Amino acid sequence: MGRVEEDVGDRSAGDSHRRGAVLYWVCHHCVCGTSWRGRACCCFRCAERSRGICLWDNGMGSALETLCGQAVGAGQDEMLGVYLQRSFIITTVTALLLLPLYIFTSPILTLLRQDKKISELAAKYALWVIPQLFAYALNFPVQKFLQAQSRIWVMTTISIVVLGFHVLLNWIVVIKLEKGLLGAAIAENVSWWIVVLAQLAYVVSGCFPESWTGFSLLAFKSLASFVKLSLSSALMLCLELWYYTIVILMVGWLKHPEIAVDAISICMNLELWTLMITLGFNAAISVRVSNELGANHPKAAEFSVLVAIVTSTLFGVIFTIGILATRSFFPRLFSDNLEVIKETSKLGYLLAATIFLNSIQPVLHGVAVGAGWQLCVAMVNLICYYIFGLPFGALLGYKFDLGVKGIWLGMLAGCLLQTLMLMLNVLRVDWNQEALQAEERVRSHAMTALPQNDSTESGIITENRGTGRRAEK
């Protein structure tokens, strides 16, 4: 009877975590993506070039998704603070290394043969949002630290409050003060740093007596193994999200690309809005899988994967139907240009298909991160996107003169192939073996991070791993 109650409690906690994660990601995207009608396309293109660089910094911090989640499952809460500080070091150094890309955005985009006006705007925007680069470097590790401990609702509350402030600040600086793109950059900088500082204050407030015990020199030890997993995570994430940025660049290489770029930017912006729902499932399943594997509950991990895929797919079906039903209307929300509206409406079917695939694929990514398959998924992304999808899109778009539709078809084909490969991998995986590998991963990182007497005397890893908690001496 006790076990049944425990399972019910776990499922209830998991449901609450998923709801919180979904709401958090929706608000999170609103903060970083709010723009005003008539400026949406310009803002989106400039922001994409800036955030595409930030993705590598985010990726370097996503190793925490695996390590923190599995450490929580194994009962090693004291390791989370060390992992967090170690990630701060890596992401801050990464941000400094990425800084030249922000400074030299204009010549880089010119070299890539992008529209001169867009390149100049993007270059100005990149300089203005440099503070965001360092906000990202701190935000992503804190985000994963909190998610691993299922503290989603606090993050969600912070995001909701900042979202309201962000909308008001945007209205003031962009509309009333007419600062345009500069105003949008200022609003984003301020909002991002409020989010970061609020989350950091929560972490050090004393609410985490076990997982945050203050700053430690242990954060500087064993950085090599942490960097290795971080690089795999960064490669996986960037190969995934840079794919869409490159698609926009390819559209920019078409003859007379202005209308096509505006149309695909509108579609991508709308796709990102719907993607926030599935990214919530991505975060939730990543934490759930890592927790369950760390606690040696392979069956629970497998069941969680099934629930997340089915639920997220259901949302995908709803969004797909919505896009198909409104494909002649939603472009008017973003532009007054009749040519842009017409071209965007033509892309409605491809957008709907992409949204459906993106209801499944992020969940599979979350499973991979929770289980520690980052390098494997990175290789899948490389093959499906860059060896198959982009060349196929270029062939259809340029050689067969299908333009933006052909490029998008190639992108869609790459997404389909990648989703099928990840799904096949999830269906074939031995979850018992994954639980053993999670135990070994937790043990190796704990033994290298803690002093020898602490790691052996406190019984960090015991034979009683079925409980998922440390054995008391």
- Span 109-162, pLDDT tens digits: 888 777 777 778 888 888 998 999 899 899 989 999 998 998 888 898 999 999
pLDDT for the residue 272: 85
**How confident is the model at residue 130, as a pLDDT?**
92
Provide the CB-side half-sphere exposure for 348 (13 A, CA): 19
Q: Cα separation of 45 and 268, whole Å?
A: 10
For residue 470, report the phi and psi dihedrals to the nearest 5 degrees: -70, 145
pLDDT for the residue numbered 462: 36
Q: How far apart are CA 293 and CA 228, in angstroms?
A: 21
Torsion angle defined by CA atoms of residues 117, 118, 120 and 124, in that order, rounded to the nearest 10 degrees: 140
Give the up-direction half-sphere exposure of residue 167: CA atoms within 13 A in the CB hemisphere. 9
Can you give the pLDDT at residue 311?
A: 94
Query: Rounded CA gap, 8 and 37, in Å?
Result: 46
d(CA 218, CA 106): 41
- Alpha carbon separation from 329 to 271, 320, 335, 364 (Å, rounded): 15, 15, 11, 32
**What parts of the chain have a pLDDT lower than 70?**
1-55, 57, 446-473
Pair 446, 218: CB distance under 8 Å: no
Residue 466: per-residue pLDDT: 40
* Intra-chain end-to-end CA distance of the chain, in Å: 28
Rounded to the nearest 10°, the torsion over CA 25, 30, 33, 34 is 180
What is the token pair recorded at 358?
A: 């993106």
How many other CB atoms are found less than 10 A from the CB of residue 324?
A: 14
Question: What are the tokens at 394?
Answer: 């270029």
pLDDT given for residue 255 in this prediction: 83
Task: Give the C-alpha distances (Å, rounded to integers) separating 132 from 50, 129, 139, 240.
Answer: 9, 5, 10, 21
Residue 135 in tokens: 């906000």
398: tokens are 């340029």
pLDDT at residue 124, as a whole number: 86
